Structures are given as C-alpha cells and as structure tokens.
Amino acid sequence: MIDIYFALIFLTGILLQLLAGNFGLFLPVTVLLIFYAATATGLFRGIVYSLIFGIIIDVFSGWGFPWHTFACLGAALFARFWCARQMLRPALINFFPGMIAASLPLLVLLPQTIISGDWRFLLDTWLPQFVFGLIAGAILLPVTVALLDHISERLKLPRYQDARKQLEPGDNKWHR
C-alpha cells in the first residue's frame, strides 16, 4: 500500500515539476518528495524511489546524463542524516532541510557548468534558478510535511514527523 501511495504522489510531483519547467521555473518537487519519503519510510525505500523516479524525471526532462537521479540519491542520504541528528517537529522547522534538498539538483549541474566555462549561463540562468529553488524548498517542504503527514495519518501509514521515534540505537542504516 505504501509503495502505491508514494508512486501516486511522485508521479503527481513529477508532473507538477515538468509543468513548472515548461514555464521556465525550477520547482524542486521530486527531491523534496524523495526527502520526505526517505525520512518517513527509511533509507532503503528512499534509495529505490530515488532511482525509479529520478530516472523518470531525467528521461522526461530530456537530460543525457542522470543528473536528477544523483540529486535524488543525495536527498535520500541527506534525509537519513537529518532524521538521525535533527528535530523533525514541528513541520515549520523543516524549511532548512527543504532549502538543502532543493539545492541538490542544481548543485550537481554546477561542476559541468563551470567546466564548460559558460559564465553567462551561470549568472543569468543558474543563479536565479538556484535562489528561486532555495526559496521554493524552504516553503514547499513544510507544506509537504503538513499535507502528506495528514494524509498518512488517515491512511495509517508512516509519518515524517514520527520517523525519529522509529530509529533505534544501533539501527542499521540500510534496513529500517
């Protein structure tokens, strides 16, 4: 049930992100959903979701290299780190990890942009998109946590804000 739930959420998020991309906006929906899912369900499922849905968005975005898949994997790993070391409640406190997770898709593109020497693209396109992505991530993750935790509670599925309670001392990071 949980995998079907997240598949529907991810496909909706991918559609929203691709629609925003058609208007020239970078909306980091997929990495934020990966961050949420990896926190709520564990690292293993987060990695699986990263691979599946990262590849889907890379294919539909037309990228020749799976940049978004790497960013999603980074978001899953960061979710595990954040869950083990930081507070997850209240939902509003999640603006900071939202900013970090939202920056990952553009940060993986930064080395390629610098190596190509396209400084005009870096200043005119990349930097404004990066700033917009940080702001969007800071707003969208707390909203996502509140909305999806409400739905998850009604469906009796794992919630983001209860993820820290599920961690045990000595918890194996690959199986939760």
Q: Where are the domains of the chain?
A: 2-164
The topology (CATH level 3) of 2-164 is Arp2/3 complex 21 kDa subunit ARPC3 (1.10.1760)
pLDDT for res 90 = 67
Q: What is the pLDDT of residues 85-142, one digit of tens each?
A: 776 666 667 788 899 999 999 898 888 778 888 788 888 888 899 999 999 999 999 9
> pTM, whole model, 2 decimals?
0.87
Spatial neighbors of 163 by CB under 8 A, at least 6 apart, are 39, 40, 83, 88
**How many whole angstroms separate alpha carbon 41 and alpha carbon 164?**
11
